[in-house]
Amino acid sequence: MIAAALTLALASTAAAPEAPVLAGKVQAYYEKTKDFAANFVQTYTYSAAGRSQTSRGTLRVKKPGKLRWDYLDPSKKTIVVNGARLVQYEPEENQAFVDEHFDASAMSAAVTFLLGKGKLAREFELSAEAADRLVLTPRKPDARVDRVVLTVSDSGEVTDTRVVDGSGNVNEVEFQKLQRNVGLKDDVFDLELPKDVHLVKPPGQ
């Protein structure tokens, strides 16, 4: 028992330096990334219901402040952030949520690192779950994020994110076939909505 405890303590001590190294790799990789495109597989697990839902689609990101998620399966949905404009469009329902004053700075560094913004070490306590797994725990309590686990390649590319919220729900996204600095055009992030779409606006707009 003592030997096992000592082994665990030594392993924890050895793993500690990995956390800042991993965070530095991630930060450097995305700070040098002008844009990227990837396929994704998202699995959302509802803690209370004990069930999961898996979605698939594509993600495109471009600096400064442009993101586009196109969900293809099981149902189509597009989410675009383009500066201060956020649009979520659901074609099957012919419905769109539009926020013309979206504050991207309010997003956690768990997301903004993709844009080369936000400092992981500033917003999170860092630890290493494994040599390639960075665990982020918010320095300030946040019901949306209890912890984030990033799987990191040797280059600093994040291949998988797992976000656990305050209720124990788990949102895991695996990135596949990532292409970096491909020269995405700005109009990729201009989402034109149908004229007859039902618009849902935030309160006060």
pTM: 0.83
Residue 194, domain member (yes or no): yes
Phi (first) and psi of residue 169, to 5 degrees = -70, 145
| Separation CA 125–CA 139 (nearest Å) | 6
Backbone angles phi, psi at 42, to 5 degrees: -110, 130
E-strand spans in the chain?
Answer: 35-46, 51-62, 66-73, 77-82, 85-90, 95-99, 124-130, 133-138, 147-152, 158-164, 170-180, 198-200
10 in a structural domain: no
23 lies in some domain: yes
CB atoms within 10 A of CB 12: 11
Highest average pLDDT, of 113-117, 118-122, 164-168, comes from 164-168
Arithmetic mean of pLDDT, 119-145:
88
Is 152 among the domain residues? yes
**Distance (Å, rounded) from C-alpha 29 to C-alpha 48?**
36
DSSP category for residue 64: T
Per-residue model confidence (pLDDT) at position 16: 43
Q: How many domains does the chain divide into?
A: 1
Q: What is the pLDDT of residue 170?
A: 93
Is 9 within the bounds of a domain?
no
Q: Which residues span the domain enclosing 36? A: 15-200
The answer to the question of residue 39 being in a domain is yes
pLDDT on residue 108: 59
Q: Is the dihedral of CA 29, 145, 55, 104 positive or negative?
A: negative
CATH number at residue 78: 2.50.20.10
Does 129 reside within a domain? yes
d(CA 33, CA 66): 13
pLDDT in tens, 80-119: 999 889 999 999 999 999 998 887 766 655 677 777 667 8
Residue 205 falls within a domain, yes or no?
A: no
Per-residue pLDDT reduced to its tens digit, 72-89: 999 999 999 998 899 999
pLDDT of residue 115: 74
In sequence order, what are the residues at sequence separation of 6 or more whose Cβ sits closer than 8 angstroms to the Cβ of residue 28?
156
